[in-house]
């Protein structure tokens, strides 16, 4: 059954299986294991980033498309549902209209960008997507009457998803079953479903053609595949899934703004996570997102504790001062690329394969 | 001579500023092996790539099974029934042997539905593929990768196979296996084979064309060329004796 659920693409490494299991259980039980708004926020962000990064992996890792427009599609999803809820009031209908509108806009944009640009060389395509994404971010900031400009928009969600809502009075494992918990599990289950869907895609014949195109597009053409069509389809699929990730993030935050949804920082985070996790593996999105977002949220805290513990050695205490957390995040990234050039998942799988072949 | 399957008529191909093919006239008859010989840089690979539409002819016509394919896109040429095994093999190293073959089996929707009898026929001459069936193709040796490349071209019946230097860099024992495989293949397939190893092709070829300077300078039966050392010297600068 698990093999079927994972579309036959098992982790193929014991250590990787253990790591995935830990992340899965951690996310599934997060509201009960680590109470508190911050930890739940971290868990929800990991869920959303798993989807967002895996959808980017579909482009970069499986098809070899370098795109900088992924945050644009993510932002379209977030703004779509956010503006619909802001304008139409907190209802499921507004969520449906916002999501459908965002998916349609993303599909059209991905199709247009894909058909016009995927014929050109990779570097030019990357530049085109960067230009389009930048223009879109500026547009979102400029259209302040509609989008709230730089401040963004806060909005209400349907009652069942509001923090004040109680499904029932009794607590389960010491935790109230409130709207926040329901929203978390909505995000978790949607992310899980989308992740399994992406696993299915990459392990389908369509996914194999994408991999063939990434490795040698001339050869794929010589086998009879119209690579432009396949690349455009992959581009559209990646865009649609990123849009859904944006929808989930907006529902979780109950806020949309250009810095959170459309900034280039989000794009660099996605790129870093794909590289850390391992390109062309899908599972890399899970490991990479979990490690990166945990580091992003708790490294500063850990460093504060380390710095306090080293107060006797001023040089070390200064080196681990929480203000230097970005420096250490950078060091961790460099180390991970050095020791895991094919990403954590790539390295673990290669090691397991070599052991099998011996 | 049987009816022509592939005809190149006055084909010129430019790659950037270079004029590589300078009026190639070539006929590949249906059935058997036609060998394309020539020195390095004579235009053999460019001829195959032009037939495949990977580089388009700037002048002249390429006709396949009666239809003009000169300006057809590569995927259309492939679906018309031409399979191409490039010199670089072009295998997909991250995919398994099974997945590599499945990608070429365009008529089936699922890798489990590939024609088993045909696969057994392929395993008959490339037994290693059965052994490494679920192994990433990138982990195979050079000879095994070449087997994958050829197996991929014949996983479904094709009208014409274009094969570019299949013995390049292979050990003599593997080349002997290849000779046996090609001998059997030519009973059912039409092959246009580019090769530098004259002793290999002289044992296999039915007809031969020799290229020089982007043109065909000789064409005829392989047996005639194999028997005529003076002609070999004149056309190729070698004799069969030196290469056995």
Reply yes or no on whether the pLDDT at B110 is more than 80: no
pLDDT band (50, 70, 90) for residue B1:
low
Best of A207, A223, A226, A358 to disrupt the B interface (most B CBs within 10 Å) is A223
**pLDDT for the residue B243:** 42
**pLDDT for the residue B197:** 82
**pLDDT for the residue B12:** 97
| Nearest neighbour of B54 by CB, restricted to A208, A211, A222 | A222
**pLDDT for the residue A118:** 67
- For residue A212, the chain B residue with the least C-alpha distance is B92
Is the Cβ pair B75, A353 closer than 8 Å? no
- Collect the ranges in chain A with pLDDT lower than 70: 118, 121
**pLDDT for the residue B26:** 96
CATH of the domain at A266: 1.10.3470
**pLDDT for the residue A67:** 93
Considering only CB atoms, which chain A residues are within 8 Å of B79? 224
Cα B94 from Cα B91, distance rounded (Å): 9
- For residue A229, the chain B residue with the least C-alpha distance is B75
Task: For residue B55, give every residue at least 6 positions away whose Cβ sits within 8 Å of its Cβ, in sequence order, or none.
Answer: B13, B15, B46, B49
| Nearest neighbour of B75 by CB, restricted to A221, A353, A357 | A221
**With contact defined as beta carbons under 8 Å apart, do A343 and A277 qualify?**
yes
| Nearest neighbour of A215 by CB, restricted to B86, B92, B102 | B92
To the nearest whole angstrom, how far is the Cα of B10 from the nearest Cα of chain A? 24
Considering only CB atoms, which chain B residues are within 8 Å of A205? 102, 109-111
| Nearest neighbour of A208 by CB, restricted to B78, B99, B152 | B99
Compute the radius of gyration of chain A from its Cα atoms: 21
A357 close to B (CB below 8 A): yes
Is the Cβ pair A221, B90 closer than 8 Å? no
pLDDT band (50, 70, 90) for residue B244:
very low
- pLDDT tens across B116-143, in order? 999 998 998 888 999 999 999 999 998 8
**pLDDT for the residue A53:** 98
Give, in order, the Cα–Cα distances in Å from A156 to each of A248, A250, B228: 14, 11, 90
| Nearest neighbour of A216 by CB, restricted to B92, B104, B110 | B92
- Of the candidates A24, A2, A50, A36, the one whose C-alpha atom is nearest the C-alpha of residue A242 is A50
- Of the candidates B56, B141, B151, B58, the one whose C-alpha atom is nearest the C-alpha of residue B102 is B151
Is the Cβ pair B84, A212 closer than 8 Å? no
Reply yes or no on whether the pLDDT at B155 is more than 80: yes
Burial of residue A210 (number of CB atoms within 10 Å: 0-12, 13-18, 19+):
buried
Considering only CB atoms, which chain A residues are within 8 Å of B94? 211, 215, 280
Considering only CB atoms, which chain B residues are within 8 Å of A357? 135, 139
Task: For residue A34, give every residue at least 6 positions away whose Cβ sits within 8 Å of its Cβ, in sequence order, or none.
Answer: A40, A43
Q: Give the whole-number percent of chain A exceeding pLDDT 70.
A: 99
Number of compact structural domains in chain A: 1
pLDDT band (50, 70, 90) for residue B178:
confident
| Nearest neighbour of A225 by CB, restricted to B75, B84, B136 | B75
pLDDT band (50, 70, 90) for residue B240:
very low
Token output for A130: 């960067």
Host domain of residue A289: 2-357
Best of A9, A222, A227, A353 to disrupt the B interface (most B CBs within 10 Å) is A222
Diameter of chain A by CA atoms? 69
How many contacts (CB atoms, under 8 Å) link A and B? 58
Token output for A105: 């806009």
- pLDDT tens across A127-165, in order? 999 999 999 999 999 999 999 999 999 999 999 999 999
Domains of chain B: 4-81+159-243 (3.40.50.300), 92-157 (no CATH)
- pLDDT tens across A70-103, in order? 999 999 999 999 999 999 999 999 999 999 999 9
Average pLDDT, chain B: 89
A218 close to B (CB below 8 A): yes
Exposure class string for B201-219: b at 16+ Cβ within 10 A, else e = bbebbbbbbbbbebbbebb
Best of A216, A219, A279, A343 to disrupt the B interface (most B CBs within 10 Å) is A219
Is the Cβ pair B78, A208 closer than 8 Å? no
Is the Cβ pair B74, A218 closer than 8 Å? yes
Query: How many Cβ atoms from other residues are within 10 Å of residue A142's Cβ?
Result: 12
**pLDDT for the residue A40:** 95
Is the Cβ pair A222, B136 closer than 8 Å? no
ipTM of the predicted assembly exceeds 0.95: no
A312 close to B (CB below 8 A): no
**With contact defined as beta carbons under 8 Å apart, do A124 and A117 qualify?**
yes
**With contact defined as beta carbons under 8 Å apart, do A206 and A40 qualify?**
no
Exposure class string for A23-54: b at 16+ Cβ within 10 A, else e = beeebeebbeeeeeeeebbbbbbbbbbbbbbb
- For residue B53, the chain A residue with the least C-alpha distance is A222
pLDDT band (50, 70, 90) for residue B65:
very high
Q: Provide the sign of the torsion angle of the four alpha carbons B206, B212, B216, B217, taken in this order.
A: negative
């Amino acid at each position: 059954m698990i093999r079927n659920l994972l579309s036959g693409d098992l982790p193929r490494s014991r250590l990787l299986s253990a790591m995935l299991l830990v992340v899965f259980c951690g996310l599934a039980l997060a509201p009960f294991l680590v109470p508190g708004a911050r930890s739940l926020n971290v868990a929800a962000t990991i869920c959303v980033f798993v989807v967002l990064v895996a959808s980017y992996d579909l482009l970069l890792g499986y098809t070899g498309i370098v795109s900088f427009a992924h945050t644009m599609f993510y932002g379209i999803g977030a703004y779509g549902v956010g503006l619909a809820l802001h304008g139409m009031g907190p209802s499921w209908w507004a969520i449906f209209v916002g999501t459908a509108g965002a998916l349609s806009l993303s599909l059209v944009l991905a199709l247009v960008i894909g058909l016009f640009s995927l014929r050109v060389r990779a570097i030019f395509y990357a530049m085109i997507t960067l230009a389009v994404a930048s223009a879109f971010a500026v547009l979102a900031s400029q259209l302040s009457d509609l989008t709230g400009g730089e401040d963004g928009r806060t909005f209400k969600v349907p009652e069942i998803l509001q923090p004040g809502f109680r499904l029932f009075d009794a607590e389960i494992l010491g935790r109230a079953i409130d709207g926040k918990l329901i929203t978390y599990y909505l995000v978790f289950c949607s992310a899980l479903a989308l992740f399994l869907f992406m696993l299915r895609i990459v392990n389908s014949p369509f996914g194999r053609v994408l991999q063939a195109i990434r490795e040698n597009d001339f050869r794929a053409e010589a086998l009879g595949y119209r690579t432009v069509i396949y690349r455009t389809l992959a581009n559209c699929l990646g865009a649609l899934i990123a849009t859904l990730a944006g929808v989930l993030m907006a529902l979780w935050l109950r806020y949309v703004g250009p810095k959170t949804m459309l900034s280039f920082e989000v794009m660099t985070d996605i790129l870093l996570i794909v590289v850390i996790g391992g390109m062309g593996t899908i599972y890399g999105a899970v490991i990479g997102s979990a490690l990166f977002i945990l580091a992003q949220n708790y490294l500063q805290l850990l460093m504060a504790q380390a710095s306090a513990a080293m107060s006797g050695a001023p040089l070390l205490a200064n080196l681990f001062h929480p203000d230097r957390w970005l420096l250490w995040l950078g060091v961790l990234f460099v180390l991970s690329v050095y020791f895991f050039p094919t990403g954590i998942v790539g390295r673990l799988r290669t090691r397991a394969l070599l052991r099998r072949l011996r | 001579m049987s009816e022509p399957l592939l005809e190149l008529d006055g084909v010129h191909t430019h790659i950037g500023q270079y004029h590589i093919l300078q009026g190639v006239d070539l006929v590949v008859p249906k059935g058997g092996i036609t060998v394309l010989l020539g020195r390095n840089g004579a235009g053999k690979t460019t001829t195959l790539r032009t037939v495949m539409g990977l580089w388009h002819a700037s002048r002249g016509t390429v006709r396949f099974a009666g239809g003009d394919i000169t300006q057809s896109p590569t995927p259309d040429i492939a679906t018309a029934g031409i399979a191409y095994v490039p010199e670089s093999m072009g295998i997909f190293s991250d995919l398994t042997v099974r997945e590599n073959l499945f990608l070429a089996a365009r008529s089936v929707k699922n890798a489990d539905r590939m024609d088993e009898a045909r696969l057994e026929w392929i395993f008959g001459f490339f037994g290693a593929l059965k052994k490494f069936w679920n192994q990433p193709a990138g982990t195979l040796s050079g000879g095994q990768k070449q087997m994958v490349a050829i197996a991929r071209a014949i996983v479904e019946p094709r009208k014409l196979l274009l094969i570019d230097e299949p013995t390049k860099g292979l050990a003599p024992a593997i080349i002997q296996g290849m000779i046996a495989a090609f001998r059997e293949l030519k009973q059912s397939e039409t092959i246009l084979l580019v090769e530098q190893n004259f002793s290999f092709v002289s044992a296999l070829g039915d007809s031969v064309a020799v290229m020089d300077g982007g043109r065909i300078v000789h064409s005829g039966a392989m047996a005639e060329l194999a028997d005529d050392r003076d002609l070999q010297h004149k056309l190729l600068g070698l004799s069969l004796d030196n290469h056995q």
